[in-house]
Amino acid sequence: MRQYFIKISLLFILAFSITSCGGGSSTSSSSGSSKSELEIETKQSIFDQEKNLLNIDFLVKNNYNQKIDVSLKNLSIDVKPCNVRRISMTPKNVYFSESIKQQYVTALIEFIGECNPNSYNISSSKILTLEDKSNTLTYKSEEIEIVPDILVPNNDNEQNITEPENYSFFNTPLPITVKNAEESYNFKVQLIDDESRGVSDKEVRILAYDVRYGEIENLVVTTDANGFANFKFTSIKNLAPINGKTLTLTIVQGEGLSTISTDVNFKFKASKVTPKNYQFQNPTSIVVKNAGEGQEISIDIVNSLGIGESGKTVQITTIPSKFGSISSSSTVTNDAGRAIFKYTAPKSLDEIDGQSTTVRISFKDGDTELTETVKITIKKSLDEVSERYQFQNPTSITVKKGNESKNISVDLVDSKGVGVSGKNIQISNIPNQFGTLDRATATTNEAGRATFIYTAPIDIGDINGKSIQANLIFTNEDGQQTSTSITITINESTGGVSENYQFRNATSITVGKENESKNISIDLVNNLGIGIADKTIQITNIPSNFGLIDSSIAITNQAGRATFNYTAPDNIDDIDGKTTTVTLSFIDKDNSSTITEDITITIKKSTDTIVVDKTLPTIVIPNELREITIKTNSKSFDIPIKVYKDIAPYASGSVS
């Protein structure tokens, strides 16, 4: 049996009664709308006797048109007028579908000192998707009034005392493997009391979950005569995007601070998936001129849009030992979709000078198989001038309008940094969806610059927010290649953030003690360097073993500064000397772009140096009392012992 409790530490095995203060349900919509597309309905709010820990159960309702996919990321809560120490949201992200229009969320809020909360609001990133077009906005609900119930100790003299329900979950199913699309899976969990008897007629519900994995027929059910809560899950139409992943459903029973929960996991292992349309691009052959030198052999895997696919395993064949070695027979593509193999030349090139060998690069994914060959050429006596060419100043571009044209350029220079004219530079093809280039080859001008003209498609809605890489290649007369890459980013502008706002003064922190608290701050300024107030800044989560950050969202003050409070964990021994990175981001209202900044949290346990004086003091005993003869009973002697250190009397310690 696997069981978890969402509760507070003072919830002992005691009887409690709930003193109602009018904590009924309440409803709010997002600001600026009479009938909101998103509504928040409070199911229950309750806090402990000390009034420093509050639990709020609420329902998020989606009233958008059913054709619009809606999701909320990084949920956070602001409770007024309280100072919040930390927040726990279960779950942090909420997803909806055509049939799942409402989701349950639980918030546990710890205050700094006693507080009497009277309202709260919910904030998050809101992602709207319609026919493969998506937009990310900042969501903030209206203020929702609450009068929480108070948890107080039971008094035997009081009437109508309510004993807490001591229930638990039993017979939680093992992980369920999903192999087929659009297939239904029935599962159930049993609710039992402290005598292991099934408890009937109790409401059991599933908290908000990622509906992109499938759908639950009923999120709220009532236990049957044997205490079983029965649910039905149906997988999505295409398992390819989620193949190999796991969905965790959190099932809960109860309200407020005594809620119990258990998890049911669905593992997706499709028996057949739809292959993606992958292809190889930009294979790099190499020319070796020095013994023992290292070079890179690379190739890109892109999808049907020409976008690099990360995390794909690419294989390469071995080469004859006389041609050197390749560090590994396989590698994984990086974030840009590039697979890189490390080649090392042999200790001597004399035997193979002028020769070449071919290696085969391959990739397989389901029914998709790709192969490509590259050549390794050994040529010691290369033309001296051609060997020293290199690229400088490649210009990546960002396009904000349909049919917009921009120049892509790169400089070819010699070993002295002087531009080389009259050389042909090639650029790799880009997919039609991303626009056109005026030419495939450009000749460097007198300054050594080659220029290509890029033109975006008339309608950039389908590729808004996406990027693609293009390679620039120069091949000299001996077949040696020099290459670099540029990025074309599509970011449809409605007049927003990237041109007017920027981050400054991001603070990375170093923590040396358990439970130590430090502020993480960053300034949002406009193009004049003036701080921008009342803007929402988000921060990514950190691993739980690194401690916690009080909130995922902060609002900039009058000076434009957003501040988050970080608290180290109770024990930092396991993470001493380690660093984690978090990203701060700002998204404007119309989502024209996002600005981000990374900061680091470093754990470096402090050790206070204690200087210990190990020299011993000197003990002095009078000579006449060093030997004492006792001749009669009941006789006492005073023995004066003096202790000195560094000539002075020694006042510390004791003598025995």
User: Does the structure show a pLDDT above 70 at 204?
Assistant: yes
Sheet-wide strand order for 481-490? 397-399, 481-490, 467-475, 424-427, 441-443
User: Which residues, listed in sequence order, are joined to residue 297 by a DSSP beta bridge?
Assistant: 341
Q: What distance in Å separates the CA atoms of residue 588 and residue 502, rounded to the nearest whole number? A: 12
| Banded model confidence at residue 304, pLDDT cuts 50, 70, 90 | low
CA distances from 256 to 46, 91, 476 (A): 6, 15, 72
User: Does the structure show a pLDDT above 50 at 66?
Assistant: yes
Residues 519-529 have a mean pLDDT of 84
Rounded to two decimals, the pTM is 0.34
Q: What distance in Å separates the CA atoms of residue 442 and residue 438, rounded to the nearest whole number? A: 10
Lowest mean pLDDT among 295-304, 539-548, 550-559: 539-548
Position 404, amino acid: E
| Banded model confidence at residue 258, pLDDT cuts 50, 70, 90 | low
Position 534, amino acid: D
Interacting residues of 75 by C-beta distance below 8 A, sequence separation 6+: 89, 91, 92, 93, 94, 105, 122, 123, 124, 552
User: Does the structure show a pLDDT above 50 at 532?
Assistant: yes
Tens of pLDDT, residue by residue over 36-59, are 788 999 888 887 777 778 888 888
Interacting residues of 647 by C-beta distance below 8 A, sequence separation 6+: none
| Banded model confidence at residue 322, pLDDT cuts 50, 70, 90 | very high
On the 0-12 / 13-18 / 19+ scale of CB atoms within 10 A, 365 is middle
Per cent of the chain over pLDDT 70 is 81
User: Does the structure show a pLDDT above 50 at 1?
Assistant: no
User: Residue 398: what pLDDT?
Assistant: 85
Q: What distance in Å separates the CA atoms of residue 452 and residue 441, rounded to the nearest whole number? A: 8
Pairing type for strands 397-399 and 481-490 reads: parallel
Tokens representing residue 153 in the block: 């100790």
What letter does residue 164 receive in the DSSP assignment? P
CA distances from 281 to 307, 365, 422, 428, 470 (A): 11, 16, 27, 8, 10
User: Does the structure show a pLDDT above 60 at 157?
Assistant: no
CA distances from 613 to 368, 617, 656 (A): 74, 11, 21
On the 0-12 / 13-18 / 19+ scale of CB atoms within 10 A, 23 is buried
Identify the CA nearest to 329 among candidates 366, 360, 302, 287: 360
Tokens representing residue 185 in the block: 């899976």
470 against 90, higher pLDDT: 470
Identify the CA nearest to 39 among candidates 56, 25, 59, 68: 59
Tens of pLDDT, residue by residue over 327-381, are 999 999 987 788 999 999 999 998 998 899 999 999 988 777 899 999 998 887 5
SS3 of the chain: helix, strand, coil, percent, to 5: 5, 45, 50
SS in 3 state form for 393-411?
Answer: CCCCEEECCCCCEEEEEEE
CA distances from 4 to 1, 171, 175, 260, 568 (A): 10, 14, 17, 6, 24
Alpha helices (runs of H) in 325-389, residue ranges in sequence order: 384-387
Which residue is associated with the tokens 């904590």?
23
User: Does the structure show a pLDDT above 90 at 587?
Assistant: no
| Banded model confidence at residue 35, pLDDT cuts 50, 70, 90 | low
Tokens representing residue 333 in the block: 């593509």
Q: What distance in Å separates the CA atoms of residue 234 and residue 245, rounded to the nearest whole number? A: 16
User: Does the structure show a pLDDT above 70 at 30?
Assistant: no
| Banded model confidence at residue 648, pLDDT cuts 50, 70, 90 | low
Find the radius of gyration of the CA atoms of the chain: 35
Per cent of the chain over pLDDT 90 is 15
Q: What distance in Å separates the CA atoms of residue 359 and residue 351, rounded to the nearest whole number? A: 19
Residues 138-158 have a mean pLDDT of 73
| Banded model confidence at residue 491, pLDDT cuts 50, 70, 90 | confident
Contact of 169 with 204, CB cutoff 8 Å: no
User: Does the structure show a pLDDT above 60 at 115?
Assistant: yes
User: Residue 90: what pLDDT?
Assistant: 78
Contact of 135 with 591, CB cutoff 8 Å: yes
| Banded model confidence at residue 273, pLDDT cuts 50, 70, 90 | low
Pairing type for strands 286-288 and 368-378 reads: parallel
User: Residue 158: what pLDDT?
Assistant: 45
Ordered by where they begin, the domains of the chain are 14-153 (2.60.40), 168-268 (2.60.40.10), 279-381 (2.60.40.10), 386-490 (2.60.40.10), 497-603 (2.60.40.10), 618-649 (no CATH)
Mean pLDDT score of the chain: 79
CA 95 from centre of chain: 17
Alpha helices (runs of H) in 305-394, residue ranges in sequence order: 384-387
| Overall size of the chain counted in residues | 656
User: Does the structure show a pLDDT above 70 at 14?
Assistant: no
Identify the CA nearest to 483 among candidates 340, 620, 359: 340
User: Residue 613: what pLDDT?
Assistant: 59
